[in-house]
Every structure is written in structure tokens, then in C-alpha cells.
Amino acid sequence: MRLDTFTPPELVRELKGIRDAVEKELRQRKFAFIPTGKDKFFEQEKLFGEAVHTAFPSAASEIKDAGNCLAADLNTAAIFHLMRAVEAAMRVLVVHLEIKLKNKALKETGWDELIKLIDKKLKERREKYDNSKRKKRSEWSDLKFYGVIADELNVFKENWRDKVMHTWDAYNELEAMNVFVRVRGFMQKLATKVTENN
């Protein structure tokens, strides 16, 4: 049908019909607005940087989801995903430290047990170092590094992981951003020595 065959009232009626159909379709859709400044978190594949993305591919989707939650002001959900990213990195650390599990698969072992196993392994390494006649500077450096990592895992568990998993707390934007910065720093530090590929 050609436009020049419409009379002006018919053209107005047809355009109104198109507008009404578009409005009806749009009313059935929901849109979210990402404010300027928060768009830097939205749909970012490498939100914690290249090194973390490469070192912990099993945490990639959790990190991306945490960023999307921050962008959308879903602060408690952001912390939930951040703790899942930490958990993925913790499981990689367990493999890296060559910790043996009894009667359970790694993915079925909870935070409490994994942290205890990491602490036990580091205590054994520390005792071996202390009893060694020839102390290696590199071993002392490793002990300090892994000790800080283990301490941070305990902080995550006590302050956020347990609370967000058991619906004890809800978090605001400032709290979520503080956890984001802390988890990012933790994973960037861990990625300097630990990766899923080694």
C-alpha cells in the first residue's frame, strides 16, 4: 500500500495504530537503567583484571555476575557472588597446596573444612621450616604469603560468606563496594602464585 493513497485522517489513524502497538509491546517489557559510573561494572568479562581471569576461570562467571549486581544496585547479591568467587579460588588453593581430602570430593567440601585443612597444611609447613637446619628465604616468603591468604579466607567467612548465605544480613552500596575491593585485591594477590593451570 502506498502512502499517497491514504487520506490525512486515514494516515493519522494508521500511525496511531502503530504507536499503540509499539506502546503495548513496550509495556510488556522491563528495562533497567545503569547509572553513569556504574556502567564500568556491567557485563565485564575481566573485572578483576587479566591475571585473575587467566588464573581462576572457574570464578569468571561469579566475578562478572558480582559486577552486574553492583551496576544494578543489587548489593547483597553482589556480595553473594563475590563469596562464590572466593570459594572457587579457595578450591584452587587447596589443589595448589596439594591438600588431600578424605571421603569427599573437593566440590562437596565446605568452607569450614577447607579453611581448617589449609591452616593445618600451613602449620605443617611452618613446623618443617622451623625444624630445618637450612632455612630457605623462599620458603619463609611462601609461608608469609599463604598465611595472609589463609587469614583473609577466615575474614571472608566470618564477615560476609556465612551472613550472606544464611540471610543474616543485607548490604548497602558502600558495604558491597568495600567487599568488592577487598575480594579483588585478594584474588589479584593470590593470582601471583596460584592458578588453576598449575
Q: Which residues contact 188 (CB under 8 A, 6 or more apart)?
A: 48, 49, 51, 52
Nearest to 88 by CA among 44, 64, 114, 56: 56
What are the φ/ψ torsions at residue 168 (nearest 5 degrees)? -80, -30
DSSP letters spanning 111-137: HHHHHHHHHHHHHHHHHHHHH-SS--H
Written as tens digits, the pLDDT of the chain (198 aa) is 565 677 878 878 888 988 988 888 888 888 788 888 999 999 999 999 999 999 999 999 999 999 999 999 999 999 999 999 999 999 999 999 999 988 888 888 899 999 999 999 999 999 988 888 787 888 889 999 999 999 999 999 999 999 998 888 899 999 999 999 999 999 999 999 999 987
Cβ atoms of 184 and 46 within 8 Å: the answer is: no
**CA quadruple 191, 193, 196, 197: dihedral sign:** positive
Q: In the structure grid, which three cell numbers stand for residue 16, read together?
A: 496511531
Q: In the structure grid, which three cell numbers stand for residue 138, read together?
A: 623462599
**Which of the 8 DSSP states describes residue 108?**
G
pTM of the model: 0.84
Q: Element (H or E) spanning 83, and its range?
A: helix 75-96
Cβ atoms of 37 and 77 within 8 Å: the answer is: no
Cβ atoms of 189 and 85 within 8 Å: the answer is: no
